[in-house]
Structures are given as structure tokens and as C-alpha cells.
DNA sequence: TCGCTACGTTAACGCTCATTCACGTTAGCG
DNA sequence: CGCTAACGTGAATGAGCGTTAACGTAGCGA
């Protein structure tokens, strides 16, 4: 057997099942035994893969933040026109939100349950991601200053991240269109 | 002293402080002793006012849902034109979200921690509130069917409820204008 | 074959925390 | 004056749970 397993290994199963459970019941509402049971092992076996329950959460949230930031940087590098960039960002983010609603849920619900240093890391990554949006909004002339751009960016996230509450019952491609169109319209709104 | 206290009584202090704490740390992240300490009494004194910690949360969430539904019904009764109704709903909801960000946070984060019957009650109230929005959207011709209207309504909630993540640092009246304009634009978007 | 590493297991340990108990203290009211 | 209801308190109870300990086992490299 390989030193680095080629198949999706226990570690990833745990991360995936834990995300599902955290999304449904919240970090404190899920026990170590519960996570173990979900992947077919029981209880303290998790400590062969993660240093602690908080460490598991930390890895999950850092992973999400890094993924979002990487995707954002990729788009930022590929588009010089800020409006094109915004469209690409919207497509990227709605796609992620529709594909991984549990991760979205956990990310903005259980940030408070991270140990201090991990929370700082996640906050930093999130901030960098937000700044990509803020920069695009300002350069596109769609926001009156950085503060307004930040409010608008967070509002757009809230809109796109509404997926977990509604789109579970709706076909994903339909929801994607609706959400992208609404987000685009919201960001192009001219504040009275 | 009166049988029915005229001043904001211990009971309401508890609800208010508990909301603040739940919003910051999550239901399971706050202890009974913590809530007691926040209002200047300690620990089990809460049981003179609420049957249990879950009962406290239940009263809080039911109260929010009832308030929103009542406000929605009021607006629905006052406006016959669906577009006017939507504007009134947007104003009502953004105002609430900006005035009570902790309640908004708790409402959509800790629903899962309610006992079953209370959760059913809250879900029912929420559903009724959503249906007011759905009806207005359909009658206004802004949504292609009820399913799309429901997705749009939830997206609008997500947008307006983004307040707790962003508008803490921004002047409330500014944020209110931005959010209302964005929500209006989002709901009037024509899905491609 | 030997031993090391990876991965599991079950049985404690210890702490937190919701809830209950037994017991005051005040204030209105007959 | 006493009775009672409202409101507190600090100590005990008991469950849940994260974490550690002690112990197995299979496979790979030397």
C-alpha cells in the first residue's frame, strides 16, 4: 500500500462527514463518537488523523477559505475588466455555494468555535477574498468608497450563500441562474 | 410593587442578554451560569423565569418569528399593489435586521437546537412569513412560479440579513439605504 | 524474521454543565 | 402580625463528552 494513499482516505472521509454533521447540528451538537460512527469507525480513532476536535474544524475552515481565496485570485489574474471580473467571481462563488452548501453553512456558523490562532488565519484569508471583491467593485465604479463596497460584498455573499436554506429543494442549474442574476443586479444597483 | 412589573423585568433582561451571548458564542457555547452572570444573578436563578435553557431559546425564536410575521401581515393588509408591498416589506425587514442583528444571527444559526415541537412552531411561522413574500413576488410578475419566488425570497433574506457580518462598522442609515436598494434591484432582476 | 508504523479498539479519567434541592429573604396582603 | 408568592443562593447530582491510556493487529522495509 502506498505511503500517500491514492483513494479518498479515511482522513478525507472524516472531513466530509464531519462537514455534513456540523452543518446539520452545529459544532457542539456533534460528538466525536458521532463523527466516528458516520465513517464506520468509532470514537477516539479520530485522534489518529487530527490532533483534536477543534483541530478538525480548523482544517475544514482553513481549507474552505484557502479554496475561495485561490479561486478569487485566479479570476482576478484572468480578467482585467472589473465588470468581467465580477461576473467571473459571481459564477465561481455561486457554483461553490450550490455544490458545497454544508461547507458554506459551517464556515459562517462555527467560526466562533475555532481556537484563537486558527480563527485569525481564517479571518485573514476571508479578508483577502473580500478585498478582491471590494477592489473589483471600486474599479467598476459600482460602490461609493471602500466601506460601501465592503457592505455590498458581504450582502452579495449573503445572497449567494442563501443556498443552504432554499435550494436544497430546487434544481441546481435553475437556482444557479436565479442567484447569479440577482447578485449581478444587486451589485449594479445604484443606491438612491 | 405591581403584580405585572412595569419596568423591563428580569425576564426581559435575560432574554436580551441571552440573545447577545447566543449571537456571539452560539447556543451551546453559552452556559446557564454565563447568562446569569450577564444579568447580575448567578446560575440557576434562570429557572425562576424559564423552564429550561431550551425553553429560553424557544421563547426567543418564537418571539422573533411572530414579530416578523405580524409585521409582514400588517404590510400585506396595507398595500394592494404588489410592488408597493414589496417595498414596504423590504423597508420593514432591513430595519429589523439593522436594529436587531443578534436576533437575526440566533434565528438562523440555532434553530437546530430547539426541541422538536418548538422547532415546528418556528418553522411554521417562518413559512407563513415567506409566503407573504412569495405571494407578492408572484403577483408582481417578478418570479417565474412559486419555486423560483421562494428561492428569490430566501436570497433576499440572505442579503438583508448580511448585516451582522458587515454593518456593525458602518452607519446604520447608510447601510439601510444600500441594503434596501440592493434588495430591490435583486428582486427586480430578470433571470436570463 | 524482526521491528516499526499506521490504524483501530475498549476502558478509564476528568471536566463542564444543565438541572434539582434545601434553604433564605423580601414584600404585599388578609 | 403571619402567610404566601416571588425571587435568589450555594451545594449536590448526574449525564455527556473530549481526551488519554493500554493494548491489539496487519503490512512493509531491512
A171 confidence band (pLDDT: 50, 70, 90):
confident
For residues B148 and B156, the answer to whether their CB atoms sit within 8 Å is: no
Q: CA-CA distance, B104 to B40, in Å (whole number)?
A: 25
Residue A6 has a pLDDT of 52
Q: CA-CA distance, A162 to A152, in Å (whole number)?
A: 15
Task: For residue A21, give the chain B residue with the closest CA.
Answer: B112
Residue B167 has a pLDDT of 73
Q: Which residues of chain B have pLDDT under 50?
A: 1-4
For residues B168 and B101, the answer to whether their CB atoms sit within 8 Å is: yes
User: For the whole model, what pTM was predicted?
Assistant: 0.94
User: From its phi and psi, is residue A5 left (phi > 0), alpha (psi between -120 and 50) or beta?
Assistant: beta
Q: CA-CA distance, A181 to A175, in Å (whole number)?
A: 10
Chain-chain contact of B155 with A166 (C-beta, under 8 angstroms): yes
pLDDT in tens, A75-99: 999 999 999 999 999 999 999 999 9
A2 confidence band (pLDDT: 50, 70, 90):
very low
For residue A5, pLDDT beyond 80? no
> How many other CB atoms are there within 10 angstroms of residue B8's CB atom?
10
> How many other CB atoms are there within 10 angstroms of residue A9's CB atom?
11
Nearest-CB residue to A151 (from B109, B154, B167)? B167
**Of A153, A150, A159, the residue nearest A179 (C-alpha):** A159
Q: CA-CA distance, B182 to B95, in Å (whole number)?
A: 14
For residue A192, pLDDT beyond 80? no
Q: Which residues are CB-contacts of B174 (< 8 A; sequence separation ≥ 6)?
A: A148, A151
Tell me how close the Cα of A93 comes to any Cα of chain B, in angstroms: 14
Biggest CA–CA distance in chain B, Å, is 64
B25 touches strand C (CB under 7 A): no
For residues A122 and A109, the answer to whether their CB atoms sit within 8 Å is: no
Task: For residue B21, give the chain A residue with the closest CA.
Answer: A112
Tell me how close the Cα of B68 comes to any Cα of chain A, in angstroms: 17
**Of A135, A179, A168, A176, the residue nearest A153 (C-alpha):** A135
Chain-chain contact of B184 with A187 (C-beta, under 8 angstroms): no
Q: Which residues of B touch A190 (CB under 8 A)?
A: 181
- Cα A5 from chain centre: 26
Q: Which residues are CB-contacts of B9 (< 8 A; sequence separation ≥ 6)?
A: none
Residue B7 has a pLDDT of 63
User: What's the Å distance between residue B152 CA and nucleotide C13 C1'?
Assistant: 52
Task: For residue A166, give the chain B residue with the closest CA.
Answer: B151
**Which of chain D's bases lie under 7 Å from a protein CB?**
6-11, 16-21, 27-28
The mean pLDDT of A109-125, rounded to a whole number, is: 96
Chain-chain contact of A24 with B112 (C-beta, under 8 angstroms): yes
| Burial class of residue B102 (count of CB atoms within 10 Å of its CB; 0-12, 13-18, 19+) | middle
Residue B36 has a pLDDT of 97
Q: Which residues are CB-contacts of B42 (< 8 A; sequence separation ≥ 6)?
A: B33, B36
A43 touches strand C (CB under 7 A): yes
* A110/B4: higher pLDDT: A110
User: From its phi and psi, is residue A177 left (phi > 0), alpha (psi between -120 and 50) or beta?
Assistant: alpha
Q: CA-CA distance, A8 to A3, in Å (whole number)?
A: 13
Residue A25 has a pLDDT of 93
Chain-chain contact of B154 with A166 (C-beta, under 8 angstroms): yes
For residues A71 and A88, the answer to whether their CB atoms sit within 8 Å is: no
Q: CA-CA distance, A22 to A30, in Å (whole number)?
A: 7
For residue A140, pLDDT beyond 50? yes
In this complex, is the C-beta atom of A91 within 8 Å of any C-beta atom belonging to chain B?
no
Q: Which residue is nearest to nucleotide C17 (CA to C1')?
A: B31
Residue B191 has a pLDDT of 58
Q: Which nucleotide lies at the shortest CA–C1' distance from A28?
A: D17
How far apart, in Å, do the first and last CA atoms of chain B sit?
Answer: 64
DSSP state of B47: G
**Of A44, A59, A48, A134, the residue nearest A89 (C-alpha):** A134
Tell me how close the Cα of B138 comes to any Cα of chain A, in angstroms: 15
**Of B19, B185, B163, B174, the residue nearest B94 (C-alpha):** B163
| DSSP three-state, residue A130 | helix
User: What's the Å distance between residue A65 CA and nucleotide D14 C1'?
Assistant: 41
Chain-chain contact of A189 with B191 (C-beta, under 8 angstroms): no
Amino acid at each position: 500500500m502506498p505511503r500517500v494513499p491514492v483513494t479518498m482516505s479515511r482522513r478525507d472521509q472524516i472531513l466530509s462527514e464531519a462537514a455534513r454533521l456540523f452543518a446539520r447540528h452545529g459544532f457542539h451538537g456533534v460528538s466525536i463518537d458521532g463523527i466516528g460512527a458516520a465513517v464506520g469507525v468509532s470514537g477516539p480513532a479520530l485522534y489518529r488523523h487530527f490532533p483534536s476536535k477543534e483541530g478538525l474544524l480548523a482544517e475544514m475552515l482553513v481549507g474552505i477559505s484557502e479554496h475561495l481565496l485561490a479561486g478569487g485570485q485566479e479570476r482576478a489574474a484572468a480578467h482585467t475588466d472589473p465588470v468581467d471580473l465580477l461576473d467571473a467571481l459571481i459564477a465561481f462563488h455561486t457554483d461553490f455555494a450550490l455544490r458545497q452548501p454544508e461547507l458554506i453553512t459551517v464556515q459562517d456558523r462555527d467560526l466562533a468555535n475555532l481556537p484563537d490562532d486558527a480563527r485569525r488565519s481564517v479571518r485573514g484569508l476571508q479578508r483577502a477574498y473580500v478585498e478582491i471583491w471590494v477592489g473589483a467593485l471600486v474599479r467598476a465604479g459600482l460602490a461609493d468608497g471602500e466601506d460601501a463596497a465592503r457592505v455590498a460584498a458581504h450582502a452579495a455573499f449573503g445572497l449567494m450563500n442563501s443556498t443552504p436554506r432554499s435550494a436544497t429543494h430546487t434544481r441546481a442549474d435553475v437556482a444557479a441562474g436565479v442567484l447569479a442574476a440577482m447578485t449581478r443586479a444587486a451589485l449594479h444597483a445604484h443606491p438612491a
